Amino acid sequence: MNNSFFARKFVIQGIFIAIAIIIVARLFYIQIIDKSYLLSANNNVLRKVVVYPARGVVFDRNGKVLVQNEPVYDLMVIPQEAKEIDTALLCQLIDIPVEGFKKRMDKARAHSPYRASPFEKQLPSTTYAQLQEHLYKFRGFYVQNRTVRSYPDSVAAQVLGYTLEANERDIERSKGFYRPGDYIGATGIERSYEDLLRGQRGVKNQMVDALNRPKGVFMEGKYDTLAVAGDGLISTLDKDLQVLAEKLMKGKMGSIVAIEPSTGEILTFVSSPGYNPNMMVGRERGNNYMKLLNDKTKPMFVRPIQAYYPPGSVFKVVAALTAQQAGVIDEHTVFNCPGGYRYGGGRAIMRCTHVDGPTGLIKSIQKSCNTYYGYVYARMIDSRGMPSTKAYDLWREAIGKFGIGHTLGIDLPGEKPGLIPTSSWYTKRYGNDKWKSGYNISLSIGQGEMGITPLQMANIMAIVANRGFYYRPHLVKGIGEKKIIRKEYTEKIHAGVDAKYYEAVIEGMSRAVNVPGGTGYSVRVPGVEMCGKTGTAQNPHGKDHAVFFAFAPRENPKIAIAVFVENAGFGGVWAGPMVNMLVEKYLKDTISLPKYTQDRIFNANFLPKETAKKEEVKKDSTKTKKDTAAVVKTAAVRDEKKEMFVHHSQVTRR
């Protein structure tokens, strides 16, 4: 028995006990003292999934949907975890070229190797369904669902606008509300009502396994926050009318704006050429956007609020009203029209296309007599017992109350004020303040250095329809479930001319449409007394612009409308029938115009040929310099507007 080393038993047992104590001590440290492991465990298993709220849905005034949401799926990647991926299969599943994999991965890694970045955005449901079956093979990838806009009728693109990913500046300005990858309203209602439409993001604490597969909800959702959907909006637009108006403007450049005079609600708002709003959604958005941006016809240009046109005939309505208010004429004032207005001591003449003879106020409107308004303007500037600069300022202030030269405050971004120079601008131009009405007589008939937007034109019609006041034109009449309307759109604004002065003007406009031989007789609406006027702006760069503006019915008017078709020719031939169809459709829900007339309008195409493009090429001012040199030299306005001016001598009335 070799048992002399019996005592070593205790050494061995001692070692066993010592090691056990070391292990227990170590466990005590990592399980009880050091709390970081619990945190790391949660980090391991938790993925905070942002729940994107649905943006608010936009309805038309009758509750029909204009914009809704559609689910799409963003494929996200955490670069550090994405290893040993079958790239070919992934690329095939999401339909991207294999070379694209590295590019996207590099981009994501540049953002952060440990945080999730979008790998491919806005996968449609069908692609997602295929991808989902294989997703477990792609470690580090997961899918984030969100919604994008969808436009069931593809109308009103310019009104509704589109959303874009928030850029650095948006993110900074929002003080952390937006995060990279969030969408933000970029134009239209999407932008002006962004705060209401966007809703509130939610966060879901999801558990994942080591391969990033979702494994249920953490702590039964105790720490989750719900996403709150954005407020719905009720637009003032009438979808059916909008559809018709867009159909009418197809193949033409120009604008249609229709307003409900009693509220300022915009019924139709067309900027043509427009674009299909669905183009600005989805994976092709970038390409589509560039295409639209490079389109010479400028589909992104919101003509009704950004294009300036010489007001022409519609200004005669304003001139007649302001002159009466100023007391320089009354409804019985008569001027003789020998076929033109002579000024500058008889050396110059502003032609009238007709020899109207003795002309009263009503007839001047009905026949759109240039001579009459030459006299009116001369009285306004020269015969008020004050320096002409002061008289001009008063005149300018009066027409300014009709919106000319001012933004109207529509709920769309990018509204332009129009143009009407100040007296000092003319003083500077002529070198002294001794100038008279003859110096800028074209202003008398809404030509020369005067530009207004189609919205302002329609709004003037609304003022006339209301006999003296308007509500700021707007596109949203109800916000959220309570259908709140913004306060500024309930405020009645007076145009500075008393109601009694309107009747003669309205009578003139009524006769223009409803009396045989009137310029708008062919487009009168059966059973409705529509008051309106045609205008045709001669265009030095191409075919004339056709204009028609009207309101109806005469008593208790329901619609005020302005139609402007560029390069179309005669207002009565092109713009008039459009007004006829829109007004009858809105008031009586029928169209009684003969089918062949309708087809003629629908099928017409006035989009410029290559040579005529300069009309719309805003930046290319050199081409048109010759025509507008005089104005360009001194006018303190932006290049793009100058080309819209048409000299009075080129304006005829019809």
Here the tokens at position 494 are 């007076």
Residue 231: count of CB within 10 angstroms of its CB = 20
Q: Which is nearer to another protein, 28 or 602 (CB)?
A: 28
Q: Which is nearer to another protein, 23 or 88 (CB)?
A: 23
Binding site for another protein (CB under 8 A): 1-2, 4-6, 8-9, 11-13, 16-17, 19-20, 22-24, 26-28, 30-32, 34, 36-38, 40-42, 44-45, 80, 207-211, 215
Here the tokens at position 141 are 């990838």
Q: Which is nearer to another protein, 19 or 386 (CB)?
A: 19
Q: Cβ 10 to another protein, closest distance in Å?
A: 9
Evaluate whether 67 touches 163 at the Cβ level (below 8 Å): no
Q: Which is nearer to another protein, 80 or 634 (CB)?
A: 80
Q: Cβ 220 to another protein, closest distance in Å?
A: 13
Q: Cβ 86 to another protein, closest distance in Å?
A: 20
> What residues have CB less than 8 Å from 555, skipping those under 6 apart?
529
Closest Cα partner for 56 from 243, 195, 240, 225? 195
Q: Burial code of 85-106, b = ≥16 C-beta within 10 A, e = fewer?
A: beeeebbebbebeeeebeebbe
Q: Which is nearer to another protein, 3 or 603 (CB)?
A: 3
Q: Cβ 35 to another protein, closest distance in Å?
A: 8
Closest Cα partner for 305 from 520, 121, 639, 562? 562
Here the tokens at position 287 are 């390409």
Task: Characterize the bridge pairing of strands 141-150 and 65-77.
Answer: antiparallel
Q: Which is nearer to another protein, 19 or 89 (CB)?
A: 19
Q: Which is nearer to another protein, 39 or 515 (CB)?
A: 39
Q: Which is nearer to another protein, 40 or 112 (CB)?
A: 40
Q: Across the strands, what pairs with 340?
A: 351
Evaluate whether 123 touches 21 at the Cβ level (below 8 Å): no
243/156 Cα distance (integer angstroms): 8
> What residues have CB less than 8 Å from 479, skipping those under 6 apart?
193, 196, 231, 233, 234, 485, 486
Q: Which is nearer to another protein, 136 or 430 (CB)?
A: 136
> What residues have CB less than 8 Å from 621, skipping those under 6 apart?
632, 639, 642, 643
* DSSP secondary structure of 420-446: ---HHHHHHHHSSS---GGGGGGGGGT
Q: Cβ 223 to another protein, closest distance in Å?
A: 15
509/487 Cα distance (integer angstroms): 33
Q: Which is nearer to another protein, 25 or 629 (CB)?
A: 25
Q: Which is nearer to another protein, 40 or 336 (CB)?
A: 40
170 Cα distance to chain centroid: 19
Q: Cβ 289 to another protein, closest distance in Å?
A: 39
CA-to-CA dists, residue 408 to 312, 453, 588, angstroms: 20, 10, 29
Q: Which is nearer to another protein, 24 or 110 (CB)?
A: 24
298/272 Cα distance (integer angstroms): 9
637/571 Cα distance (integer angstroms): 28
* First-residue to last-residue Cα distance in the chain: 136
Q: Which is nearer to another protein, 24 or 89 (CB)?
A: 24
546/272 Cα distance (integer angstroms): 14
Q: Cβ 81 to another protein, closest distance in Å?
A: 8
Sign of the CA dihedral 171, 177, 180, 182?
negative
Q: Cβ 131 to another protein, closest distance in Å?
A: 22
629/641 Cα distance (integer angstroms): 13
Q: Which is nearer to another protein, 17 or 129 (CB)?
A: 17
Q: Which is nearer to another protein, 6 or 596 (CB)?
A: 6
Q: Cβ 204 to another protein, closest distance in Å?
A: 16
Q: Cβ 154 to another protein, closest distance in Å?
A: 45
- Please give the radius of gyration of the chain, using alpha carbons only, rounded to the nearest integer: 34
Evaluate whether 558 touches 586 at the Cβ level (below 8 Å): yes
Q: Is residue 477 helix, strand or coil?
A: strand
194/55 Cα distance (integer angstroms): 9
Evaluate whether 345 touches 378 at the Cβ level (below 8 Å): no
Q: Phi-psi category of 613—alpha, beta or left, where left has phi over 0 and alpha has psi -120 to 50?
A: alpha
Q: Cβ 198 to another protein, closest distance in Å?
A: 34
Q: Which is nearer to another protein, 105 or 207 (CB)?
A: 207
Task: Say how many CA atoms lie within 13 Å of 487 toward its Cβ.
Answer: 0
Q: Cβ 117 to another protein, closest distance in Å?
A: 17
Q: Cβ 25 to another protein, closest distance in Å?
A: 10
Here the tokens at position 204 are 């879901």
